[in-house]
Amino acid sequence: MPDGEATLPLPLEEITALESRIANVPIFTILGLRDVTYLRGVCRAVAPRRREYDGIFETFHGGLLITIADSTAALAVLTLTGPLAKITTTDMSIRFLMPALTDVVVEARVIKFGRTLVPLQVDLRSMDGNLVAIAQVTYMRLDQASAGRISRTRET
């Protein structure tokens, strides 16, 4: 993503359409993301730490952190495709760097907006700015993938 493009804010009507799309997606309700900011190719949010979802060591559960990374990455992709695009995660990995004892500030940034695949970098930080985890997530643009299959089928 060119840096200049990634800093462009979304128009209010696009934000409204995006929030309308995710309003009925159960995981977004469960995660309770707040202070969400949408830029082209970027999504930033705060994920609250809820003690009932802590892991064995009384810290933010790692499975929830990867879910937060994945969900925020989806929002970043939708800032480029439009809110009605069909997308899916193809793979993701996370590296835990330190325990998360607070709410988590998450930023998902598109690395490359490909025709079919969209890799992203996701940083998760404690409220005091410490990097607690880094994730890489790749999304597939299903609309584009199926369009490619249809055109190849027609060629044969």
Q: Give me the residue label for tokens 């933010």.
A: 60
Q: What's the chain's length in residues?
A: 156
d(CA 50, CA 94): 21
What pLDDT, on a 0 to 100 scale, did the predictor assign at position 8?
A: 84
The domain tally of the chain equals 1
Looking from the CA of 111 toward its CB, the CA atoms found within 13 Å total 12
Taking the CA atoms of residue 102, residue 120, residue 76 and residue 106 in that order, the dihedral angle to the nearest 10 degrees is 10
Domain residue limits at 30: 3-155
Q: What is the mean pLDDT of residues 7-36?
A: 92
Q: Tokens standing for 21?
A: 């799309």
Q: In CATH, what number is assigned to the domain containing residue 91? A: 3.10.129.10
Percent of the chain with pLDDT over 90: 82
Planar angle of CA 85, 6, 119, nearest 5 degrees? 55
Beta bridge partner(s), residue 24: none
| Per-residue pLDDT reduced to its tens digit, 47-89 | 999 999 898 999 999 999 999 999 999 999 999 999 999 999 9
